[in-house]
């Protein structure tokens, strides 16, 4: 088979961009064997031409003018690995409109603007692929769009942020939050400003994308209810351990009553659940559906070469499928309503500090029962100033638990603000 030369371009030549270039060179023979095509980087957009790149580049590859890529007539495929939403969004629109296929690793862009970008791609008859935007090396988008095309996935659970998982794993090993975050920063797992990770924004963007693809209905970042791990203390970690569970930052996208709910927040995961075994900076996504029951994909969710491997795989897929029409359309084919957030059901872990007085337990149980929240497990610890209660409920409406907690917080015996975290236990809470 004679080899077809395919000139390609990159927007960005940083950690991921340089790794994409390296992989395309080092894996050229593998790609050619698989597709009959040889992908060759001919242009790469950067901000600073004088920056040390650590890679021997032909002098005419780097440019600071995006027009050199948009108007490059020989380039039909571009990987966007520069990040950010502005000006990246305009650049991607210009590339798609100019008839170029685009692969992106940019979760914030896809989570915010996928609908508009897909419309432009469809009009121009080109592909927009974004595997690397969710969980880097884990091929979850491809599995959802291609392998599970008839599987009716109705729930996606994920540990989709490695930084927070690393911090929580370290807290389980005895570090406090600050020490665990400092170690994550030293090892390069967390940025100097870690707010996008620890605040849950990064995981929320990824869950918006996963929900969109899994359910075929547009979910944007604005639809995701999320919180991060900044309020998690060693007290939560200890309580979880006593109950045979682990604290994890879990993204959950669910279809309930034909409506969609997507949220990210700390949860207690039972020790037998696959997500409890996800350690350190790893990511995992569990897909649940009619035909498949459940499939869990686990692997490195970040890193230059890991992310680049997904970018290159998308580029190879485009080269392999151009002209066949497969997967060139917008993945959304319906418009699901959003579920009222209070209508999602889950077992919950409640932590309440109270005076150690007769009748307190009964009053708390009464408030829960008033809202149809029933108790599955209860652990009580004596503390200097009273008692600390850990309560695991049976599956209940989120809204009912919140309402009961407001009343419990108002009881004269309650100290501070009681907290509630969902419990993830697909094996049944009674066995937890
Ligand atoms: N790194 C990871 O582990 C990882 C994981 C998953 C997804 N991603 C995603 O991959 C993308 C790239 O990440 P990265 O870590 O490779 O970033 P990076 O190291 O900061 O590289 C960004 C590159 O884009 C160029 N650039 C940025 N803004 C530009 C602008 N306005 N005009 C022209 N060039 C511009 C930079 O040019 P200069 O080199 O001249 O500064 C640099 O080459 C992001 O969307 C990120 O979210 C990264």
Respond yes or no: is residue 206 known to be catalytic: yes
Domain end position, chosen among 239, 268, 300 = 300
Q: DSSP letters of 340-357?
A: PGGG-EE-EEEEEEE---
Distance CA 266, CA 419 (A): 11
Same domain, 282 and 346: no
Examine residue 287 and state whether it is found in any structural domain, yes or no: yes
Cα 80–Cα 82–Cα 85 angle in degrees, nearest 5: 90
Ligand 1 atom 8: the closest Cα is on which residue? Answer: 105
Q: What are phi and psi of 241, to 5 degrees?
A: -60, -45
Same domain, 221 and 118: no
Examine residue 368 and state whether it is found in any structural domain, yes or no: yes
Same domain, 351 and 289: no
Examine residue 142 and state whether it is found in any structural domain, yes or no: no
Residues whose CB falls within 8 Å of the CB of residue 333, separated by 6 or more in sequence, listed in order: 216
Which of 31-45, 50-64, 202-216, 231-245 has the lowest average pLDDT? 50-64
CATH of the domain at 121: 3.40.50.720
Same domain, 273 and 163: yes
Cα-to-centroid distance, 87 and ligand 1 (Å): 13
Cα 76–Cα 328–Cα 331 angle in degrees, nearest 5: 135
CATH of the domain at 200: 3.30.360.10
CATH of the domain at 384: 3.30.70.260
Average pLDDT over residues 138-159: 90
Tokens of 272: 């037998």
Cα-to-centroid distance, 25 and ligand 1 (Å): 20
Examine residue 141 and state whether it is found in any structural domain, yes or no: no
Same domain, 233 and 182: yes
Same domain, 90 and 159: no
Closest atom, ligand 1, to C-alpha of 88? 31
- The structural domain count of the chain equals 3
Examine residue 331 and state whether it is found in any structural domain, yes or no: no
388-400, pLDDT tens digit by residue? 999 999 999 999 9
Same domain, 15 and 97: yes
Same domain, 103 and 160: no
> Going along 2-76, which residue ranges are E strands?
4-11, 37-45, 62-63
Domain limits for position 309:
4-136+305-321
Examine residue 116 and state whether it is found in any structural domain, yes or no: yes
Cα–Cα distance list, 102 to 64, 156, 166 (Å): 19, 26, 32
Whole-prediction pTM value? 0.90
Pocket of ligand 1 (CB under 6 A): 12-17, 45-48, 51, 81-84, 87, 105-106, 132, 136, 302-304, 307
Ligand 1 atom 44: the closest Cα is on which residue? Answer: 83
Ligand 1 atom 20: the closest Cα is on which residue? Answer: 14
Same domain, 360 and 383: yes
Q: Which residue out of 206, 259, 417, 431 is catalytically annotated?
A: 206
Cα-to-centroid distance, 83 and ligand 1 (Å): 5
197-225, pLDDT tens digit by residue? 999 999 999 999 999 999 999 999 999 99
Give first-to-last CA distance, the chain, whole Å. 58
Cα-to-centroid distance, 376 and ligand 1 (Å): 48
Tokens of 145: 């769009």
């Amino acid at each position: 088979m004679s080899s077809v030369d395919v000139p390609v371009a990159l927007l960005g030549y940083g950690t991921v961009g340089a790794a994409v270039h390296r992989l395309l060179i080092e894996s050229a023979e593998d790609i050619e064997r698989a597709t009959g095509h040889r992908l060759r980087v001919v242009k790469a957009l950067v901000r600073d031409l004088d920056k040390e790149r650590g890679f021997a580049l032909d002098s005419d590859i780097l440019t600071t003018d995006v027009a050199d890529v948009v108007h490059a007539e020989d380039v039909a495929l571009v990987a966007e690995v520069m990040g950010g939403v502005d000006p990246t969004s305009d650049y991607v629109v210009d590339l798609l409109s100019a008839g170029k296929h685009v692969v992106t690793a940019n979760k914030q862009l896809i989570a915010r603007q996928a609908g508009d970008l897909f419309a432009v791609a469809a009009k121009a008859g080109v592909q927009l692929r974004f595997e690397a935007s969710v969980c880097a090396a884990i091929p979850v988008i491809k599995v959802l769009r291609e392998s599970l095309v008839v599987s009716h996935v109705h729930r996606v659970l994920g540990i989709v942020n490695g930084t927070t998982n690393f911090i929580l794993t370290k807290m389980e090993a005895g570090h406090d939050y600050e020490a665990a975050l400092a170690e994550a920063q030293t090892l390069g797992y967390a940025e100097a400003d870690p707010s996008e990770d620890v605040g849950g924004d990064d995981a929320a963007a990824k869950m918006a994308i996963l929900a969109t693809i899994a359910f075929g209905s547009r979910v944007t970042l604005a639809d995701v209810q999320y919180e991060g791990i900044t309020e998690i203390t060693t007290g939560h970690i200890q309580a979880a351990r006593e109950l045979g569970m682990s604290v994890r930052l879990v993204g959950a996208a669910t279809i309930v009553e034909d409506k969609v709910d997507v949220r990210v927040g700390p949860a207690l995961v039972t020790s037998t659940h696959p997500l409890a075994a996800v350690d350190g900076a790893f990511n995992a996504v569990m897909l649940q559906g009619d035909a498949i029951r459940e499939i869990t994909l686990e692997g490195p969710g970040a890193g230059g070469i890991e992310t680049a491997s997904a970018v290159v795989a998308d580029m190879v897929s485009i080269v392999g499928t151009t002209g066949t029409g497969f997967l060139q359309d917008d993945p959304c084919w319906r418009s699901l309503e959003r579920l009222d957030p209070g209508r999602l059901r889950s077992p919950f872990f409640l932590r309440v500090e109270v005076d150690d007085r007769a009748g307190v337990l009964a009053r708390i149980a009464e408030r829960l029962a008033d809202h149809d929240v029933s108790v599955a497990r209860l652990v009580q610890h004596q503390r200097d100033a009273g008692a600390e209660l850990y309560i695991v409920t049976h599956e209940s409406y989120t809204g009912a638990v919140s309402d009961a907690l407001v009343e419990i917080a108002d009881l004269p015996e309650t100290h501070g603000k009681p907290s509630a975290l969902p419990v993830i236990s697909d094996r049944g809470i009674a066995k937890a």
